Structure 1
Amino acid sequence: MKVSKITSHVFIYVLLVLGGLMMLLPFFWMVSTAFKTGFEAMQTPPTWFPKHLLWRNWVQTWHAAPFAQYLLNSVIISVVTTFGQVITSIMAAFAFAKLKFFGKRLLFWLLLATMMVPGEMLIIPNFVTLSQWHLVNTYGALIIPWLASFFAVFTLRQSFAQVPDQLYAAAKLDGASDWRFLWQILVPNAKSSIMAVALLQVIGSWNSFMWPLIVTNSETMRTLPVGLQAFSTDAGMSYPELMAAATFVILPMVILYLALHKYVVHGMRIGGMKG
Structure 2
Amino acid sequence: MKLKIGNHILLIFGAFIMIVPFLWMVSTSLKTFGESMQVPPTILPKEWKFENYAEVFESVNFVKYYINTIALTLGRTIAQLFLCSLAAFAFARLTFPFKNTIFIAILSVLMVPPQVILIPNYAILTQLGWIDTFYALIVPGMFSAFGVFLLRQFFMGIPKELDEAATMDGCSLFGIYWRIILPNATPALIALGIFTILAAWNDFLWPLVMTSSENMRVLSVGIAAFQGQYSTDYPLLMAGAVLSTIPMLIMFILFQKHLISGIALQGVRR
TM-score interval w.r.t. the shorter chain?
over 0.9
Identity between Structure 1 and Structure 2 (%): 37
Structure 1 residue 123 corresponds to structure 2 residue 103: no
Long gaps (5+) in structure 2? none
1:158–1:272 contact (8 Å) kept in structure 2: no
Residue 229 of structure 1 corresponds to: 224
Q: How many matched pairs?
A: 270
Task: Please state how far the C-alpha of 1:271 moved relative to its aligned partner.
Answer: 2.8
Structure 1 residue 175 corresponds to structure 2 residue 170: yes
Q: Distance in 1 between the 2:177 and 2:132 partners? A: 37
Q: Distance in 2 between the 1:235 and 1:112 partners? A: 44
Q: Which is worse superposed, 259-268 or 81-90?
A: 259-268
Write the deviation string for residues 36-60 of structure 1: whole angstroms up to 9, x where unpaired.
1112112222211001210111111
2:133–2:211 contact (8 Å) kept in structure 1: yes
Residue 245 of structure 1 corresponds to: 240
Structure 1 residue 258 corresponds to structure 2 residue 243: no
Letter in 1 for 2:162: L
Write the deviation string for residues 65-88 of structure 1: whole angstroms up to 9, x where unpaired.
100111110011100110011100
Task: Please state how far the C-alpha of 1:229 moved relative to its aligned partner.
Answer: 2.4
Write the deviation string for residues 181-233 of structure 1: whole angstroms up to 9, x where unpaired.
11111111110000010111111101111010101110000000100122122
Residue 151 of structure 1 corresponds to: 146
Question: Which of 100, 106, 110 is the aligned partner of 2:95?
Answer: 100
Q: Distance in 2 between the 1:107 and 1:235 partners? A: 51
Q: Distance in 1 between the 2:110 and 2:257 partners? A: 25
Structure 1 residue 206 corresponds to structure 2 residue 231: no
Letter in 2 for 1:175: G
Task: Please state how far the C-alpha of 1:23 moved relative to its aligned partner.
Answer: 0.7
Q: CA RMSD in A?
A: 1.1
Q: Which is worse superposed, 80-89 or 263-272?
A: 263-272
Q: Distance in 2 between the 1:234 and 1:107 partners? A: 47
Q: Distance in 2 between the 1:138 and 1:71 partners? A: 16
Residue 137 of structure 2 corresponds to: 142
2:162–2:180 contact (8 Å) kept in structure 1: no
Q: Distance in 2 between the 1:25 and 1:67 partners? A: 26
Q: Distance in 2 between the 1:216 and 1:151 partners? A: 26
Letter in 2 for 1:156: L
Q: Distance in 2 between the 1:137 and 1:36 partners? A: 35
Q: Distance in 2 between the 1:9 and 1:252 partners? A: 34
Task: Please state how far the C-alpha of 1:248 moved relative to its aligned partner.
Answer: 1.1
Q: Which is worse superposed, 146-155 or 8-17?
A: 8-17
Letter in 2 for 1:186: I
Residue 184 of structure 2 corresponds to: 189
Task: Please state how far the C-alpha of 1:273 moved relative to its aligned partner.
Answer: 3.4
2:154–2:266 contact (8 Å) kept in structure 1: yes
